[in-house]
Chains A and B, each alone.
Chain A
Amino acid sequence: MTIIDNTTADVPSGPLLEVRDLHVEFHTRDGVAKAVNGVNYSVSAGETLAVLGESGSGKSVTAQAVMGILDMPPGRIPRGEIFFRGQDMLKMSNEERRLIRGQKIAMIFQDALSSLNPVLSVGYQLGEMFRVHLGLSKKEAKARSIELMDRVRIPAARERVNDYPHQFSGGMRQRIMIAMALALEPDLIIADEPTTALDVTVQAQVMDLLAELQREYHMGLILITHDLGVVADVADKIAVMYAGRIVETAPVHELYKRPAHPYTRGLLDSIPRLDQKGQELYAIKGLPPNLTRIPAGCAFNPRCPAAQDICRTEIPALLSVTERDGTELPGRGSACHFWKETIHG
């Protein structure tokens, strides 16, 4: 068995972004919180990677490390590499990072209202991207802002460019966030729970827009979410995180059909269905672990219905998953000692 290197297998040109063995920890009063414990993932141009996990799983912290917006201290990256187009960003100077941030990698945050400055007009905030990064004049920047607002389909962009964030609805604000991320035509967009704060009908509009723009600009997209439904709609591949580790990777269809990790299976079983009235919900017992005291062995073992002695002592590696007859399943990996039993029953 090989340790999965889920990077270049299916992409000839090499990935846009590659995270290798990333560790992030925070020094707190209660001790060292190990938020990310050896994460590997990669995204290519035009590809959507969904990072799925509950709060505290390390999905956002990983993204912040990639973006270079992690607060350090209290955060620290004791180990790991983050390659963007083959260059390790963790070895770059602050100046070099700054050139990548915003221009090459952009981020969309969950809460548009608190991510936008309430006392500046949206036109000013959008234009800032052009003035600061491209050195355009105020007038040119404003024209480009209007163009962008059109692109993300904000009605009457010319009239609304001088409006303030509070004058827009939640969905429109999230469009402005998307416009801001798109402004400098980045190669990679990281969207951290982009639709969590929105209503379902608006959520559908915003996800559609994001997917369409991604196709058009051939961008890589990392979608961070806790919503198994949103992921199913737009992602190409999924990485499921638990307690700072990736516990399962799979192409989107495969994951839902045949989960190879008990945690993924538990998650899928615990959400009620829209199309039929179910019986009592399956509930994963217990709580996600405290990151200052992650259980020994597999971090999921205290909540796992299939845990054995080995799970309490040995940390399972993310191994490639195969069919019963040994045929490799491309892109699939599971960090469970008993993945065979989980996927093949």
Chain B
Amino acid sequence: MAEPRKSDDSMDATPNVTEVATADAVTVDDSVAAIEATVERGEPILQVRNLVKHFPLTQGVLFKKQVGAVKAVDGISFDLYQGETLGIVGESGCGKSTVAKLLMTLEKATAGEVFFKGQDITRLSGRALKAVRRNIQMVFQDPYTSLNPRMTVGDIIGEPFDIHPEVAPKGDRRRRVQELLDVVGLNPEYINRYPHQFSGGQRQRIGIARGLALNPEVIICDEPVSALDVSVQAQVINLMEKLQDEFNLSYIFIAHDLSIVRHISDRVGVMYLGKMAEIGTDTQIYDHPTHPYTQALLSAVPVPDPEAREGRERIILSGDVPSPANPPSGCRFRTRCWKAQDKCATEVPLLAVPERFKGTGGHAAHESACHFAEEKDVVHAA
């Protein structure tokens, strides 16, 4: 396995040098912490190091000149281990879907690396890229627009075989598709039906079957159940958990519904404005959050139990998420943070286990990017 590259060589690809300098400082520390973690868990299947994606903002029609960049993802690092689910939560615009696209190599990273089993996939092209892509598949949010209405279910699920014919020989495809339909709990006789003949939950099952077609090792799920009704959501979540056990899949589960993420994830990362604010196991993040943003996010979740609600503290954040084209200096959350001090405007907090919790062995000892990290339970009634 290749040693994750240090971030020196990522600089030349980035447009804004001063920004990178700050991002740099964060991520060197990140990777160290992440590598420490690998010792306990064995081989990670996916390692993300200092991943950056800037979308250029241009002005002028004929002579386009770059006037800035939307810093959608600005230096994030994490690992995904075999057979685990890593949840990624955050508000709209925090960059979580861009991360998904970068991992799928649907977008080209501005800087940083994504190692799949030790191989940096951001630098691959041609045949090598195609081979890696087989192993990383995606399930999309909207089961209504992510299925071509003019293709039959059999053609939709079988289409990956056209691109990777080595997975299923031509004569065998129909049987494979029917098998897949059966695996996701649909009647194999539906193979000639069209998407409009199915309900939302059934369509999402079709999307999952398509994701499974090439026997991938990693599936990236971008809001897979948010378009579904509550009673159907549970069915799809249960199916995904069953498939994970059956095929030893690793999931990146991106969602804004924090309860669902807790339910399905082994570890959870909280993103804010292109950076990872806090990452840890589900117990660490939900029961012992140390980053103020995580605390605010958790406290804002409406809980379907009026009595539990009354004992809980609510932190109502003021204002909106700042524009990723012009993020605040220092800590990006400081403009909405009630703890913000001068230091927060000048110094970018590193994503690391806070000094004071180091070696305590408690649940608060997990990576959190806050100068004033403090444990606070906002989920349980006082």
Q: Is A119's beta carbon under 8 Å from chain B? A: no
Task: Check if A287 sits within 8 Å of B303, measured CB to CB.
Answer: no
How many B residues face the partner with a CB closer than 8 A? Answer: 46
Question: Once bound together, how far apart are the Cα atoms of A278 and B260, in whole Å?
Answer: 10
Mostly, the A contact residues are helix
Interface of B is mostly: helix
Q: Which residues of B contact A226 (CB under 8 A)?
A: 229-230
Task: Produce 1/0 per residue, A251-267, CB < 8 A to B.
Answer: 01100110000000011
Q: How far is the CB of A141 from chain B (nearest CB, A)?
A: 27
In this complex, what residue of B is CB-closest to A269?
Answer: B234
Identify the B interface with A (CB < 8 A): 91-92, 199-202, 229-235, 237-238, 241, 256, 258-260, 262-263, 282-283, 286-287, 296-298, 300-309, 314, 316-317, 320-321, 379-380
Complex: how many Å from CA A273 to CA B309?
Answer: 12
Question: B92 contacts which of A172, A199, A227, A283 (Cβ < 8 Å)?
Answer: A199
A-B contact pairs, 28 of them (CB 8 A): A54-B229, A54-B231, A55-B229, A169-B320, A200-B301, A200-B302, A201-B91, A204-B302, A228-B304, A229-B301, A231-B304, A232-B306, A233-B306, A257-B307, A266-B231, A271-B233, A271-B234, A271-B259, A271-B304, A272-B262, A274-B259, A274-B379, A277-B263, A281-B237, A283-B231, A283-B235, A285-B235, A288-B231
Given the complex, which residues of B lie within 8 Å of A186, measured CB to CB?
Answer: none
Give the residues in chain A near B301, CB-CB below 8 Å.
Answer: 200, 229, 274
Query: Which chain B residue lies CB-closest to A279?
Result: B263
Chain A residue with the shortest CB-CB distance to B298: A274
How far in angstroms is the closest Cβ of chain B from A89?
Answer: 30
Bound CA–CA A200/B230 (angstroms): 17
B234:A270 contact, CB within 8 angstroms: yes
Docked-complex contact B234 and A274, CB < 8 angstroms: no
Q: A253 to B304, alpha carbons, bound, how many Å?
A: 10
In order of increasing CB-CB distance, the 6 nearest A-B pairs are A229-B302, A272-B263, A228-B304, A270-B234, A283-B234, A199-B91
Q: Are A274 and B320 in contact (CB under 8 A)?
A: no
Sort chain A's interface into a size bin.
Answer: 35 or more
Specify which of A256, A275, A281, A288 is in contact with B229 (CB 8 Å cutoff): A288
Give Cα distance in the complex from A202 to B301, angstroms.
Answer: 10
A201-B91, A273-B259 known; A229-B304 Cβ under 8 A: yes
A341 within 8 A of B: no
Judge whether B258 and A274 touch: CB under 8 Å: yes
CA–CA, A226 and B226, complex, Å: 12
Q: How far is the CB of B282 from chain A (nearest CB, A)?
A: 6
Interface centre among B92, B234, B262 (most CB of A within 10 A): B234
Q: Which residue of B lies closest to A273 (CB)?
A: B259
Task: Give the chain A neighbours of B259 by CB distance below 8 A.
Answer: 271-274
| Minimum CB–CB distance for B165 against chain A, Å | 35
Which residues on the B side are within 8 Å of A267 (C-beta)? 230-231
B262 close to A277 (CB less than 8 A) = yes
Given known A204-B316, A273-B259, contact A54–B306 (CB-CB < 8 A): no
* A70 proximity list for chain B (CB < 8 A): none
For A171, the chain B residues whose CB sits under 8 A away are 320
CA distance A55 to B232 in the complex (A): 11
Docked complex Cα distance between A170 and B256 (Å): 15
Nearest CB in chain B to that of A242: its residue: B231
Q: Is the CB of B231 within 8 A of A253?
A: no
| Contact present for B306 and A252 (CB under 8 Å) | yes
With A199-B92, A205-B316, A232-B309: A272-B260 Cβ-Cβ less than 8 Å: yes
Most buried by A among B259, B283, B302: B302
Are A274 and B303 in contact, with the CB atoms below 8 A?
Answer: yes
Question: Is A33 among interface residues, defined by CB-CB distance under 8 A?
Answer: no
Q: Among the listed A202, A266, A285, A287, which residue makes an inter-chain contact with B199, where contact means beta carbons less than 8 Å apart? A: A287
Return B173 CB to nearest CB of chain A, in Å.
29
